[in-house]
A and B are shown apart, each in its own frame.
Chain A
Amino acid sequence: MNTTPPDTSSQPVIEVNNLVTYYGDQKILDDVSLSVAPGEIMVIMGGSGSGKSTLLRYLLGLHRADAGDIRLFGKNIDTLSSHEWMEIRKKIGVSFQGGALFNSMTVGENVRMPLREHTSLDENTIKIMSRMKLEVVNLAGYEHLMPAQLSGGMIKRAALARAIVMDPGILFFDEPSAGLDPVVAADLDNLILRIRDAMPVSIVVVTHELQSAFKIADRITVLDRGRILMVGSVEEVRHSDNPRIRNLLTRTSEDEPVDVDGYLQRLTEGAMRF
């Protein structure tokens, strides 16, 4: 857990108000509201199908909200012009679940790419800046390797180096510990904390790993079936008596009530058509 409390008095860097989203006819997120303060590490936690990855995709502006609004750095992302969006995107960094490194480029080229695309710095400066970030994630000397030559943990760290190379104001992580062994996952958690201490950055982590969440979070948002169950500090979540949160913490599956009519309808649906 982090020791330096975030500055919650100033304007939040992320604000989500009553977000509702659909996938086809199915409601995925229902009335989701949350905010992230500058310098805060917010963990969005939930089981599979809770909507946490969907929420992240909306926060990144990859989809448009069906209702409600999302504000990044105080600006409503649905009303931004493409130019304004680009300016905002320069200020956010994302580390995707599988790294999403460009496979046709070396690690160094991957990390340099945002600088090449968005700045007019000369090649030497770009090289030095990218090497600095590779040092931060302990990947110095690996810049000439291709992503296919890296281990799972190294891919995540290289993706992190690319995400922080523009010194973003918000850093998003999608399942940082997924697919990693516990030791490497713990290293990555430490790295996330180190980055927050070294840079003025707010961090949003989407994860289902309890241990990781409790270690790095300032606050935790618990999502369940598209709705927010609670937003609170690590201690508040740990001691919550909400049965669904308790199930999540104790890794107990829930018994679904059996809907006989619905069951029959699902079995026979379409079977009588020709």
Chain B
Amino acid sequence: MAAEIHANRFRLLTEQVGRKFVAGVEDFGYGAALLVESVFWLLAGRWRQQRVRLSAIVQEMMDIGVQAIPVVTILAFANGAMMAMQGIYTLRDFGAESQVVSGIAMSVTREFGVLIAGIVVAGRSGSAIAARIGTMQMAQEIDALRVMGVSPVRYLVSPILAAMLLMMPILSVLSDAMAILGGGVISVMELHINLDTYTTRVFSELVPGDIFQGLIKSVVFAVLITLVATGNGFNASGGAEGLGRATTRSVVLCIAAIVVADMVFTFFLSR
């Protein structure tokens, strides 16, 4: 009997692992198909008489990008200031606190600027997009679009993708600038240098590759947030509770996806 119970448990466990794996592969395939289709509509919609409307893209750019500016500004500034404080404290033991400037310049442009922008966009828009599309799914609005001959991907996903691809790099550059400024304010106070010297040193340390690394990541984050948020919205089911679940899942997966992708890209881009 004990052996049978053991075998049964093992079978259930492997079954669960198998199912999760298949679901993961399905999600990945779904995301890839969504990406291909939304890019297709962006590029070829005009020739198929199904243009992606510029007004929709501008609206999404406002929601996703412009309205995120205050939060990104505050978070990036605070993050830059914290990095400067911690850097100066740590490097003081070695008498190398002035090196904090190059540390901030590099880590912000390569890493933290874009990550902060990504997390803010994932938190704000990742939930909002999933909730909006999920509500439409449940109210049969997505079906209504399809039977009207309007592709839901073209109408809902393509404008978001375009807006994300345009706004994420802009937000990352803003985030870089604000974090460097935050670090600068602390450096001026602690290291007794003036802001001009700080700025000159920052720019002498940076090479275009550093900024470029952040920009590449911002584009990848834009795609990931779009696919995860819209995918979760389209697959929402189960009433108000299901919508809440889809929204939470969207935010958590968006942030997880961008952090993991960040690690992978840093690994390859830092070689």
Residues in chain A within 8 A of chain B (CB atoms): 57, 60-62, 83, 85-90, 92, 94, 96-98, 100-104, 113-114, 117-118, 273-274
Cβ-defined partner of B141 (8 Å) among A89, A100, A117: A100
Task: Flag the segment in B4-12, B85-93, B158-166, B211-219 that touches A.
Answer: B4-12
Indicate if the CB atoms of B144 and A94 lie closer than 8 Å: yes
Most buried by A among B136, B139, B148, B150: B148
Give the distance in Å from the alpha carbon of A16 to the alpha carbon of B132 in the complex.
Answer: 35
| Nearest CB of B to A109, in Å | 12
Cβ-defined partner of A96 (8 Å) among B135, B144, B149: B144
Indicate if the CB atoms of B149 and A100 lie closer than 8 Å: no
B143 at the interface (CB under 8 A from A): yes
Chain B facing A: main interface SS: helix
Can you report 28 residue pairs joining A to B where beta carbons are below 8 Å apart? A60-B146, A61-B146, A62-B143, A85-B149, A86-B50, A86-B149, A87-B149, A88-B149, A89-B146, A89-B147, A89-B149, A90-B149, A92-B147, A94-B148, A96-B140, A96-B143, A96-B144, A100-B141, A101-B141, A102-B141, A102-B144, A103-B135, A103-B136, A103-B141, A104-B132, A113-B148, A114-B148, A118-B49
B48 at the interface (CB under 8 A from A): yes
B-side interface residues, number (CB < 8 Å): 20
| Nearest CB of A to B217, in Å | 32
Indicate if the CB atoms of B9 and A100 lie closer than 8 Å: no
Cβ-defined partner of A98 (8 Å) among B48, B49, B139, B149: B139
Give the distance in Å from the alpha carbon of A198 to the alpha carbon of B154 in the complex.
Answer: 34
6 tightest CB-CB pairs across the interface, nearest first? Answer: A89-B149, A100-B144, A100-B140, A86-B149, A94-B147, A96-B140
Interface positions of B from 105 to 143, Cβ below 8 Å from A: 132, 135-136, 139-141, 143
Complex contacts, B146 vs chain A, CB 8 Å: 60-62, 89
Cβ-defined partner of B5 (8 Å) among A89, A98, A102, A274: A274
| Nearest CB of A to B59, in Å | 10
Complex contacts, A88 vs chain B, CB 8 Å: 149
Closest to A90 in B: B149
Give the distance in Å from the alpha carbon of A77 to the alpha carbon of B147 in the complex.
Answer: 13
Most buried by B among A57, A118, A274: A274
Cβ-defined partner of B139 (8 Å) among A94, A100, A117, A118: A100
Residues in chain B within 8 A of chain A (CB atoms): 5, 8-9, 12, 48-50, 132, 135-136, 139-141, 143-144, 146-150
Give the distance in Å from the alpha carbon of A234 to the alpha carbon of B12 in the complex.
Answer: 54
Give the distance in Å from the alpha carbon of A16 to the alpha carbon of B15 in the complex.
Answer: 40
Complex contacts, B147 vs chain A, CB 8 Å: 60-62, 89, 92, 94
Closest to A272 in B: B8
> With A83-B48, A98-B140, A103-B141 given, is the CB distance from A274 to B9 under 8 Å?
yes
Give the distance in Å from the alpha carbon of A83 to the alpha carbon of B47 in the complex.
Answer: 11
Complex contacts, B9 vs chain A, CB 8 Å: 274
Complex contacts, B12 vs chain A, CB 8 Å: 273-274
Give the distance in Å from the alpha carbon of A104 to the alpha carbon of B136 in the complex.
Answer: 10
Give the distance in Å from the alpha carbon of A62 to the alpha carbon of B136 in the complex.
Answer: 16
Give the distance in Å from the alpha carbon of A101 to the alpha carbon of B146 in the complex.
Answer: 13
Give the distance in Å from the alpha carbon of A274 to the alpha carbon of B140 in the complex.
Answer: 40
Closest to B8 in A: A274
